[in-house]
Amino acid sequence: MALPEWDGELTSVRYDRGTGAWFVVGVHSTRLGPASGGTRAMVYPSPDVAVADARRLAGAMTSKMAAAGLPMGGGKSVIALPAPRAELDDATWQRILELHAANLELLGGNYTTGPDIGTSSADMDVLAGLTPHVFGRSVAAGGPGSSGPMTALGVFAAIRAGAREAGFDGVDGLRVLVQGLGAVGADVARLAAGAGAKLIVTDVDPARCAAAADELGAEVVDTGAVTTRECDVLVPCATGGLVTAEVAATVPTAVIASAANNLLADPYAAEVLRRRGITYAPDFVANAGGAIHLVGREVLGWDARRVADRTEAIGDTLAGIFADARTRGVTTVEAAQTLASRTLTGGQ
Ligand code: NAD
Ligand code: PPY
């Protein structure tokens, strides 16, 4: 496998024959502080796709920390599983966590992990018994608990800021389409419904859709309709890569506010959205509430109120990004990168 160039600092890759898992840690930047970002555990088509994913996600964490004003660098772990997590027996999963913890120890504190897709606070509790380089333990184990609710609060602030930029008067009555009703999406749906949105939802898990229909009166649509169903605000809360340049050219929405990391499959998609007048709240700004929760609580000693206030301030950050993009005639991604770069180049 020929490894492509990368502007990050370090990639660690390990294969374990016993479990059949590949372990990748991407440390993109320690410019602002030790790198941090979650552990994603899922099945990948090949180890090189897992390496590419870890590196791309680590780069997004650098931008996220910088744009949110957090004194941390960007990193991410990927564990490419031999089979879906639900099919692994407990002993294999335990062994995978032990190996991951050993890799984290080797990085000696240059990288601290946390939860991401496929890992939970309970997994962080196990890792924390083996290495100190872990954020996001459960409340029962003395940690700050799930980052999902704060990520959702920040994404909701992004929905409100995006709606304002698109000329809407609040969220009341807007058609808000939430894709993915997991830790983040279910809470985003509750917040949007609470603000009077007409909720449309989709998830590969029908039980999650049924719960949103029952609890919130949401309309349920097929997963395939997510980029074709007309709405005012599209809120991707599943996996990244949903918006290709082709999707950007046709998606029938006025605003996109993404919880999913690396939503744009192609950087040019941001320009296509700009030309169509679609307000895009860049993922690494909109979904920073989880990072604010973990770093705020575990590094900066903030209480829950301060974390929530800083998370709600994502709306003000986005308003500034939208204004800058409008003034300079650039994409919102470029304006957000400018904000992050200013912190990175002028940083500590
Ligand atoms: P999760 O695994 O709890 O939920 C994801 C949901 O999406 C699940 O309900 C799943 O069934 C659904 N889903 C998967 N593929 C789908 C598809 N093709 N169509 C419709 N639904 C689909 O994950 P989460 O913690 O809620 O995170 C959601 C996204 O937000 C992820 O991309 C994650 O990286 C990102 N994110 C999460 C946090 C956090 O604090 N949890 C922070 C930043 C970013
Ligand atoms: C993310 O925000 O994408 C994460 O991976 C969550 C996270 C944030 C900060 C530290 C560890 C994990």
Measure the CA–CA gap between 88 and 97, rounded to whole angstroms. 12
Same CATH topology for 10-141 and 148-288+315-344: the answer is yes
pLDDT band for 1, please (50, 70, 90 cuts). Answer: low
Q: What is the pTM of this model?
A: 0.97
Tell me: domain 148-288+315-344, CATH 3.40.50.720, correct?
A: yes
User: Is the model's pLDDT at 33 over the cut of 80?
Assistant: yes
* Domain residue spans of the chain: 10-141, 148-288+315-344
CA–CA separation, 26 and 105 (whole Å): 14
* C-alpha triplet 179, 182, 188: angle, nearest 5°: 65
Q: Which residues line ligand 1 (CB under 6 A)?
A: 116-117, 147-148, 151, 179-185, 202-205, 208, 223, 237-240, 259-261, 287, 290
Three-state SS for 67? helix
Which residues, listed in sequence order, are joined to residue 201 by a DSSP beta bridge? 178, 220
- Do the beta carbons of residue 297 and residue 271 sit within 8 Å? no
Q: Edge-to-edge, what's the strand order for the sheet holding 175-179? A: 219-220, 198-202, 175-179, 233-236, 255-257, 279-281
- Fold that domain 10-141 belongs to in CATH: Rossmann fold (3.40.50)
The DSSP code sequence of 80-111 is E-SS-GGGS-HHHHHHHHHHHHHHHHHTTTSE
76 flagged as catalytic: yes
- Per-residue pLDDT of 181-233, as tens digits, reads 999 999 999 999 999 999 999 999 999 999 999 999 999 999 999 999 999 99
C-alpha 250/C-alpha 300 separation (Å) is 43
Ligand 2 atom nearest to 287, measured from its CA:
2
**Smallest-distance ligand from the CA of 70:** 2
**Short-list 344, 343, 324, CA closest to 334:** 324
Distance of CA 302 to the CA centre of its chain: 21
**pLDDT tens readout for residues 54-83:** 999 999 999 999 999 999 999 999 999 999
pLDDT for 124: 98
CB-defined site of ligand 2, < 6 Å? 36-38, 114, 116, 135, 147, 261, 290-291, 294-295
Place of tokens 């290495």: 131
